A and B are shown apart, each in its own frame.
Chain A
Amino acid sequence: MPIDVYIYDAIRTPRGRGKPDGALHEVTPVKLAAGLLKTLKKRNHLKSQDIDALLMGCVSPVGDQGADIAKAAALLAGWNPSVPGIQINCFCASGLEAVNLGAMRIASGADHLVVAGGVESMSRLPLGSDGGALTYDPTITMPHKIIPQGVSADLIATIDGYTRDDVDQYALRSQHCAANAIQNNYFEKSIIPVYDDNHCLILDHDEHPRPDTSLAKLKALKPSFANLGKLGFDEVAICRYPDLEKIHHVHTAGNSSGIVDGAGVILLGDKSTGEKLKVKPRAKIIASALIGSDPTIMLAGPAAVTKKVLEKAKMSLEQIDLFEVNEAFSSVILRYLKELKIPLEKVNVNGGAIALGHPVGASGAILLGTLLDELERRELRYGLCTLCAASGMAVATIIERVSK
C-alpha cells in the first residue's frame, strides 16, 4: 500500500442470541454500535474530531438499522458532528470490507484516522428484512440460479462428499475451541460488556456457545434446508450442477453459523497519526481483496479470495500463521481446508461463528479482532481473515502483528 496502515485497537460487543429472548434484543443496534464507539474513544484517549471517517457494515440496513446507521451511531456516541458516517453493505463481507475500505482511505493519503467495523441486530432485523432484487427479482434470480445460502452450503457438501458426520464433527470442534478460549479468557480484553444508561449490565459474554454439546446431540438435529430444497431449490441447483443426482441436506442449526446480535469496531490509522495520538500500533494491514464468484454455489469464494490476496501481498500460503475463516456453514470451512490444503491447527483456533454466532454485518471486524488477539497471544506474525458472502462474493485481509 502507498502509505502503511495500522490497526491500533479492535473491540467488539458480546454476541447475544439473535432472538426476541436474546439479551441484546432490547438494545437498539445504533446503541450497540455507539457503546463501542464511546469505549474506543475513551480507551485510546481520542478526540472524536480527529477521526476522519466511520465506516460500518450492516446487512439489513432498514428499520432500526436504516438511514445510515454509521452516522447515527457517531451522533449517539456523542462524537463531534464533523465525523462522517458511511454504512456499507456487501452481505457477510461488510464488516471486513468496511475495514479494508477504511484502510484504503488511509493508504491513499485521503484520511489519517478511521474507525471501521459493523453492526447487526438479527433479532430485530432478520436476514431478508431489506428484500432486494437478488432475493426476489426473477430477472436476476432465475437466470443466475440464485438459491438460499443453506442450500448452497448443502450443495458444497454434496459436491465434495462431506457427510453429516463430517460437518457435525467440524461443528463440535468449533464449540470445543470456543469453550477453551472462553474458559481461558482469551476474549476478555476485546469484549466490551453492554450496559444500560445507568451502568446496569445487560450482557458481558457471548450467549450462543453450547460447550456441553455432543456429537449425539448435534446428530439429533433436523436438517434446516431440506424443505427449501424440496420447494424446488434443489432442482435449481442441479440445473447449474447437472452432474449431481440429488442434494444431500446435511446442515442443521448445529453446524451452521449462529444467528446473533453484535457489533465490532477497529481503529485504523497511519503511522504518524498514531504517534501523535500516542497510541501503539498492534498490527499492519498488508493486503486486502474482495471478489465475486459463482452465485449459485455462492459460498465457495474464500479459497479464491485467499489466493488473490496472497498474490497481492506477494506471499505464500505457508507464511500465514493463523487463519480466521468465517464459519457460515461447516462445509465452507471443509471446502477451504481441502482446496488450499491448510492444516486444521492453523484455522479458527478459538472456534468460530458456529459456536459464537455470526452477526452478519459485524462479523468481519469481529473476526479480524479475534485473529489479532490470537496472533498476539501466540506471538505469531501473519494472519489471514476471510469471509464468504451472498451472491458468491468473498473478502480477505492479511495482517502482520507489530511485535512489541
Chain B
Amino acid sequence: MTGIRYTKDSDDIVTLQFDLHGTVNKIDLVFIEEFSKVIDQLEKEGNSLKGVIITSAKNSFIAGADLKAILSLTKKMASDFLYMITLFKSLIRRLEKLSVPVVAAINGSAIGGGVEIALACHHRIAIDSQAIQLGLPEITFGLLPGGGGTVRLIHLLGVEKALPYILSGTLLTPTEARKKGIIDELASDHNDLLQKSKTWILNNPHALQPWDMPDHKIPGGNIRNPNIVQWMIATTASIPKKSCGSNIAIQEILNVATQTLSINFESALRVESRSLVTLSMSQETKNKINTLFIQLNDINGGMSRPKSIPHSAVQKIGILGAGMMGRGIAVACAKKGINVILKDINRSTAHAGKEAIEKYLENDHHKADILSRIYPTEDAHDLKDCDLIIEAVFENVDIKAKVTKEAETYLGLNGIFATNTSTLPISLLSHSIQKPENYIGIHFFSPADKMRLIEIIVGKKTSKETLAKAFDFSRQINKTPIIINDSRGFFTSRVFGTFLDEGAQLLEEGVNPVKIEHAARLAGMPIGPLAISDELSQKLIIEIAETNAQLDNKMGKATAMNGEASYRVAKLLVDKYHRSGKAFDGGFYEYPEKGKKYLWPELKKLYGTTQKTLSTKEIQDRLLFRQALEAVRCYDEGVLNSVAEANVGSIFGIGFPSCTGGILQYINAYGLDDFYARALELTKLYGDRFSPPALLKSMASKGKVFE
C-alpha cells in the first residue's frame, strides 16, 4: 500500500492524501521516497493536470521530521544528512514549480515540516478548529525550520513578521495563523475544506509563488534597506536578554535570515540546509531533543504512571487556601473546565482570593468562563463530593494537619487528598489523615497556572490508585508530572536549595555579588541565586532551614543549620540589617519605587573589602555542580525514579539551563569521567559539599551514562 493516495477528479485536479505508516505523517526516508514518486507522477501529467490538493487521511495534517533520527546522527553523516535535506527540499521546490495551483488543505495539526510543506503550496486553507495547532516549534529543540520554512516565511511575510514567529516557536490556532498571514483561508469542516480548495484552484489557474515572480521583493525590504539592517541589529542585540545561556539555534536562525535577505532564494535554501545540519550535529540540540522531546513525551505518555489502573478525571476540586498558590491552582483547573471550590479560613479572605483572580485575568479572553467555575467559600461543607482536595496553606506541619483533618471528611467516594507542600515529607503530614493511602503530594510551581511542571510526591502509604489519579489530574490540566518518592525537599526544592546555598557561599567568600548573579545567568539559569533568594525572602529561607532542622531532629538526624551558607547569610541580613526579602524592605537587592532593582551597595562590604577573584567559569561550575551532584544523590537514594524525570523536572521546575538537556544529561554531556574528576577537584578546593557520590565513580568506570 502506498502512503500517499493519488486521486484525480473530473476537473483534472489531483488530491494527494497523506496516510503514511504510524499515527502521524512523519517526515522520514519513507516519506521522502513516497513523495518523490508522487512528484514524478505529477510532472508526467503535463497539460492534463489542473491543480493539486495536499491533505491528510489522519487526524493531523503532516508532522515534522523524525527527531529521533537526528539524535543518532554523527559528524561523519553530515554530508548524507545534507543530501537528504536537499532532496526533500528539491521535491517541495518541484511541487511549487509545477505551474499549476497547489493548495494545502490543512485538516489537522501541522507541526514543523508539515507547515513547511504547506508554505510550498500556493494557497493554504485550514479547518477552523481550536484543536488544530500550526507552528514551527523547531527552536524548542535547538533546531531551525530547515525544510525551506525559514526562507519561505521570510519571503512571504517579511523578516520583521517572520522572525519573531520562528524565534518563539509558538503554536497557533488556524484563526491566529490566518491573522499572521500564514494561512490564507479558513474552512468550517472537511467538506468545506476540499470544496474551497477546488474553488481556489479553478479560480487561480496560473498560480505562482511570490518568490518566483519576476518583480518579487521581500515585504518590508531586504538587507539593502537601512531600516531592515537596523531591525536585524536590534533583534540580534535583544537575544542575550531573552535567552539565557548558549543557544546556537538562535544564531543559526538569524544567520539564515540575514542570508535570505542578501542572496537569491535557491542559495538561501542551501544556507538553511547547512544550518540545519550544523544544529543537528550539535550537542546542545541533541540534549534538547533528548530531554524536551523524547523524555518529555515519555513522561507525559505515562512512563511512570502505574499501569492497569483505569483512567480518571476530576470534575470538582477543592483548594484549601486562597493565597497566591491556591489561586494559581484554581485558575489552572478552571481553565480546563474543572469546577473549583476555593476555600479559605473566612469569607473575606476567600472572596478576596477570587477578586485577585479576577484582576489577574484582566486581559484573558476566557475570563468570564474561568471565573464562573471558581466558587469562593469559608464553609467546609462546600467541599462535599470533591474528587480531589488540594491543601495549599502555610508550610507548617500543625496548620496543615488542622485543615486536612477538617476537609478530609467531605472528600467524594473515590476522592483523593493532596498537599501542595514543597518541602515537608508526605509521610509525616499523612499522620493527621484517616486514609493515608489516599494522600499524596501534588507540588505546583509558582505561578501555578503557567508553570508546566508538577512534582507528585508518593508517601510510604500512598496507594497506586491515588498515584494514578494524581497523574491523570496533572495531565488533565496539561501539566507534566514527575513522580518523586517522599523525602525532605523532594527533588526540586532540594536541588534548588543547593543553588541558593552556593550563591551565598560565594558571597561569604567575598566574590563580587554582581559577578555571581551574572555568571549564573550566563550559565543559563533564568535568575541569579541572590535575586531568587530575595523573591523567596530571607525570612522564608530561615524558616525553611529551621523547620528542616526540627524535622531532621524528629527523624533522629542532627542537622546544624549553621552548616548552610544560605541560612547564615539570611540570618545576618535579617538580624543585623533588617533585610528580610523583596516583599519586605529589600534583601540582597534594593527595590526603589521607581526604576529597576539594584544590588544593595553595602553587600560588597559585608564580607570584607578585599574582593576574591574567581573566574566566571569557576563560579558557574560551582553553581551547576552543586545542583547536579544533589540530583545524583536524589537519584542514588531513590528519590527520583528516572533520568527523564530528573532532566525534565530540572528544566521546568528550577530553570536548569535547557541547553544542557537537564541536570543528569548535563553530566552525560560533560562526560562522567570528567565530571567525577572535576567534582573531586572542587571538593579539594571548596569542601565536601562537592564530594561526588560513589554511584558516579562506578558508572564512570563502567562507561555508563544516565539514560
- Interface on A for B, CB 8 Å cutoff? 20-21, 25-26, 28, 63-64, 124, 196-201
- Contact yes or no, B263 A200, CB < 8 A: no
In the assembled complex, the CB of A369 is this many whole angstroms from the nearest CB of chain B, namely 27
Across the interface, B266 reaches (CB within 8 A) one of A21, A63, A198, A200, namely: A21
Partner of A196, one of B223, B267, B274: B274
Inter-chain pairs besides A20-B264, A196-B277, A200-B277, 7 sampled, C-beta below 8 Å: A20-B263, A20-B267, A25-B267, A26-B270, A198-B78, A198-B79, A200-B274
Contact A197 B224 (CB under 8 A): no
Contact with A along B210-223 (1 / 0, CB 8 A): 00000000000001
B262 CB-CB contact with A under 8 Å: yes
Query: Counting CB contacts under 8 A, is B82 at the interface?
Result: yes
A contact residues around B271 at 8 Å (CB): 26
B278 an interface residue at 8 Å Cβ cutoff?
yes
**17 A–B contacts, CB within 8 A, in A order:** A20-B266, A21-B266, A26-B267, A28-B259, A28-B262, A64-B262, A124-B262, A124-B263, A196-B277, A198-B79, A198-B82, A198-B274, A198-B277, A200-B78, A200-B82, A200-B274, A201-B79
Q: Which residues of B contact A196 (CB under 8 A)?
A: 274, 277-278
* Residue B371 CB within 8 A of the other chain: no
The residue among A26, A63, A64 with the most chain B CB atoms within 10 A of its own CB is: A26
In the complex, which residues of chain B have a beta carbon less than 8 angstroms from the beta carbon of A197? Answer: 274, 277-278
Q: Does B338 contact A (CB under 8 A)?
A: no
CA distance in complex: A222, B353 (Å): 84
**Residues in chain A near residue B704, CB distance under 8 A:** none
User: With contacts A197-B274, A197-B278, A198-B277 known, is A63 near B263, CB below 8 A?
Assistant: no
Taking a contact as CB atoms under 8 Å apart, the answer to whether B75 and A198 are in contact is yes
| A25 lies within 8 A of B274 (CB) | no
Neighbouring A residues of B78 by C-beta, 8 Å: 198-200
Query: Which residues does chain B contribute within 8 Å of A64, judged by CB atoms?
Result: 262
1/0 per residue B265-280: CB within 8 Å of A?
A: 0111011001001100
The reply to whether B281 and A198 contact each other, CB–CB distance below 8 Å, is yes
Total contacts A to B, CB within 8 angstroms?
A: 45
Residues of B within 8 A of A198 (CB): 75, 78-79, 82, 274, 277-278, 281
On chain A, the residues within 8 Å of B266 by CB distance are 20-21
| Complex CA–CA separation, A191 to B267 (angstroms) | 23
Complex: A40 Cα to B259 Cα, angstroms: 26
Question: Complex Cα distance A200/B262, Å?
Answer: 22
Mark out the residues of chain B between 245 and 266 whose CB falls within 8 Å of any chain A CB in the assembled complex: 259, 262-264, 266
Docked pose: A124 CA to B263 CA in angstroms: 7
Whether A25 lies near B263 (C-beta < 8 A) is yes
How many Å from the CB of B273 to the closest CB on chain A?
Answer: 9
Contacts of A63 in B (CB 8 A): 223-224, 262
Residues in B whose Cβ lies below 8 Å from that of A199? 75, 78
A142 CB to nearest chain B CB (Å): 29
Q: Bound state CA distance, A309 and B75, in angstroms?
A: 51
Describe A's contact surface by its main secondary structure: loop
Compute how far the CA of A63 lies from the CA of B228 in the bound complex, rounded to whole angstroms: 13
- B79 with A200: CB separation less than 8 A: yes
Measured in the bound complex, the distance between the Cα atoms of B275 and A196 in whole Å is: 9
Residues of A within 8 A of B82 (CB): 198, 200
In the assembled complex, the Cα of A320 lies from the Cα of B46 at a distance in Å of 64
Docked Cα-Cα span, A25 to B264, in Å, equals: 9
How many whole Å from A197's CB to the nearest CB in chain B? 5
CB distance from A39 to the nearest CB of B (A): 19
Point out which of B224, B259, B264 has the most chain A C-beta atoms below 10 A from its C-beta.
B264
Closest B residue by C-beta to A125: B262
Could you tell me the distance between the alpha carbons of A25 and B266 in the complex, rounded to whole angstroms?
10
Query: Scoring B residues 221 to 240 as 1 if CB is less than 8 Å from chain A, else 0, what string do you get?
Result: 00110000000000000000
**For the complex, what is the distance from the CA of A21 to the CA of B263, rounded to whole Å?**
10
Q: Which residue of A lies closest to B269 (CB)?
A: A26
Give the Cβ gap from A121 to chain B, nearest Cβ, in Å: 10
What residues of chain B lie closer than 8 Å to A21, measured between beta carbons?
A: 264, 266
Which residues on A sit within 8 Å (CB–CB) of B277?
A: 196-198, 200
Which among B79, B267, B281 has the highest number of chain A CB atoms within 10 Å? B267
**C-alpha gap A68/B120 in the complex (Å):** 38
Report the Cα distance A26→B259, complex, angstroms. 8
- List the B residue with the shortest CB-CB distance to A198: B78
State in angstroms the CA–CA spacing of A289 and B40 once bound together: 61
Q: How far is the CA of A21 from the CA of B269 in the complex (A)?
A: 12
Residue of B nearest to A25 (CB): B267
A28, A198, A199 interface centre (most CB from chain B within 10 Å): A198
Q: Which residue of A lies closest to B252 (CB)?
A: A197
| Distance in Å: Cβ of B367 to nearest Cβ of chain A | 49
Residues B263 and A26 in contact, CB atoms below 8 Å apart: yes
Chain A hits for B75, CB < 8 A: 198-199
**Contact residues in A for B274 (Cβ distance below 8 Å):** 196-198, 200
B263: which A residues are within 8 A, CB to CB?
A: 20, 25-26, 124
Minimum CB–CB distance from A91 to chain B (whole Å) comes to: 22
**In the complex, what distance in Å separates the CA atom of A219 from the CA atom of B281?**
51
- List the A side residues contacting B264 at CB < 8 Å: 20-21, 25
Docked pose: A196 CA to B75 CA in angstroms: 13
What is the minimal beta-carbon distance from A173 to any residue of chain B, in angstroms?
A: 34
Q: Which residue of A lies closest to B223 (CB)?
A: A63
For A124, list chain B residues within 8 Å (CB): 262-263
**Closest A residue, CB atoms, query B229:** A63
* B138 CB, min distance to chain A CBs, angstroms: 18
B residues in contact with A200, CB < 8 Å: 78-79, 82, 274, 277
A198 to B78, CA, bound (A): 6
Give complex CA distance A3, B281 in Å: 49
How many whole Å from A50's CB to the nearest CB in chain B? 26
Q: Which residues of A contact B270 (CB under 8 A)?
A: 26
Closest A residue by C-beta to B277: A198
Closest residue of B by beta carbon distance from A19: B264
Q: For residue A378, give the distance in angstroms from its CB to the closest CB of chain B.
A: 38
In the assembled complex, how far is the CB of residue A395 from the closest CB belonging to chain B, in whole angstroms? Answer: 30
Complex CA distance for A26 and B271, rounded to whole angstroms: 6
Considering only CB atoms, which chain A residue lies closest to B255 in the complex? A28
- Cα-based distance from A124 to B271 in the complex (angstroms): 14
Shortest A31–chain B CB gap in Å is: 10
The docked-state distance in angstroms from the alpha carbon of A26 to that of B278 is 16
Minimum C-beta distance from B274 to chain A (A):
5
Distance to closest chain B CB from A49 (angstroms)? 21
Residue of A nearest to B270 (CB): A26
Shortest distance between the CB of B38 and any CB in chain A (Å)? 27
Residue of B nearest to A26 (CB): B267
Within 8 A of A (CB), among B463-513: none
In the A-B complex, list the 5 residue pairs whose CB atoms are closest, starting with the nearest: A198-B78, A20-B264, A26-B267, A196-B274, A200-B79
Contacts of A26 in B (CB 8 A): 259, 263, 267-268, 270-271
Residues of B within 8 A of A25 (CB): 263-264, 267
Q: Name which residue of chain B comes closest to A196, CB basis.
A: B274
B221 to chain A minimum Cβ distance, whole angstroms, is: 13
Interface string of B67-78 (1 = CB under 8 A from A): 000000001001
Task: Provide the residues of chain A in CB contact with B262, threshold 8 Å.
Answer: 28, 63-64, 124
